[in-house]
Amino acid sequence: MTHNFSLNMNRIVIKLKELIKKLPFVKLAIHHIYIYVIHPLGLLNLGLYTTFRTLKFFKLKNNIQKWKASMRVSCHIIEKGLTMPDKRLGFGQERVLFVANEILSHLDYKNLPEINIAVGILKEYDKIHTENNYTLPFKLQDKIDDVINSYPEVASLSQIKVTIEDYFSAKDSSFHTFALSRHSIRNFSGSVSLEQLNDSIELALTAPSACNRQAIKCHLFNNKDIVQKILSYQNGNRGFGHLVPQLCILTVDLRMIGTNEQNDIYFNAGLFAMNLSYAFHFNRVGSCMLNWAVTPKKDKTLKKIAGILDPESVAVIIAFGAVNDKIEIARSTKMKLNDAVVYH
């Protein structure tokens, strides 16, 4: 009985499908409903889902992940300051005070790498200021001394100082050695050749992309005035932006993305960007990604001044150029394996 019923239902569905095929306006209507109603609602649903999840977790206070992120950011800002081309002694005092207070008020976290790294960076900050006879404000020096005395066993975390030859020496080494030798460069001497640039981009095009759609575009800028104008809208190049000779604005073409892919486009661009960063390193080009986390208003302004077509979305900006003979590089210590994996 049930079997007969489902057979009949199947026949009815097939008949209906055949009927719909014979009525072109029904087919067209269904197509329009999908394009103008179902598809946009799906995109909206994904956008709201992403936004609400971000809102839910972004503002959560008193959790260790948030604390780790804030310590990593603050420490990175200080280590960047220690390696800037035109080092400005006495820099980042508020940030240093914040980190010192966090270290001293979180003795319960003393075994975490974030504390170890922060103490090492403050020791280096102290060392450089002492060596250069720069007197920090008493209150700040007092806090730094408290940190140093509380962690006598932690070594000062010196930044990387290398010559250009050493920096690029792993070009033909194993991937293991090559990957360990790449760092973000914020210390440029001038432009690289078109050949170095084109070779790098061709190599970066080996990056995987969803359905091999390759929706990225590299917008390249070599002119000093336009480079500086673009950088004036970016918030992470203080202290080295004035020396950046060339820029790549990496975009993704929204006309080429598929269903439910509005977050994936940035993932695809990220894979290309990482490949480009290795390709640059291989071709003796120094580079540093620059975040493009901005308001829609700023985004529109950048696209206008950079001549980027409306359907393209900016994923990231990459500063690049020839590297100085002697450079200092922020160490940017990486997580240990245990922090990065969850074995299921």
Ligand X SMILES: Cc1cc2nc3c(=O)[nH]c(=O)nc-3n(C[C@H](O)[C@H](O)[C@H](O)COP(=O)(O)O)c2cc1C
Q: Which residues bind ligand X (CB under 6 A)?
A: 76, 80, 183-184, 186, 236-237, 288-291, 316, 332
Q: How far is the CB of 289 from ligand X (least distance, A)?
A: 4
State which residue, 209 or 287, has the beta carbon closest to ligand X.
287
Sequence-ordered alpha helix ranges (H) in 34-172: 39-58, 64-83, 93-105, 113-131, 138-150, 164-167
Q: How far is the CB of 187 from ligand X (least distance, A)?
A: 11
Q: How far is the CB of 77 from ligand X (least distance, A)?
A: 9
Q: How far is the CB of 9 from ligand X (least distance, A)?
A: 53
Q: Which residues of 31-59 are buried (b: 16+ CB within 10 A; e: fewer)?
A: eeeeeeeeeeeeeeeeeeeeeeeeeeeee
Contact 208, 192 (CB under 8 A): no
Q: How far is the CB of 343 from ligand X (least distance, A)?
A: 25
State which residue, 66 or 238, has the beta carbon closest to ligand X.
238
State which residue, 256 or 314, has the beta carbon closest to ligand X.
314
Say how far apart CA 143 and CA 273 lie, in whole Å. 40
For 292-331, give the secondary structure using H, E and C: CCCCHHHHHHHHHHHCCCCCEEEEEEEEEEEECCEEEECC
Q: How far is the CB of 230 from ligand X (least distance, A)?
A: 13
Q: Minimal CB distance to ligand X: which residue?
A: 236
State which residue, 141 or 333, has the beta carbon closest to ligand X.
333
Say how far apart CA 172 and CA 294 lie, in whole Å. 38
Say how far apart CA 312 and CA 250 lie, in whole Å. 9
State which residue, 43 or 164, has the beta carbon closest to ligand X.
164
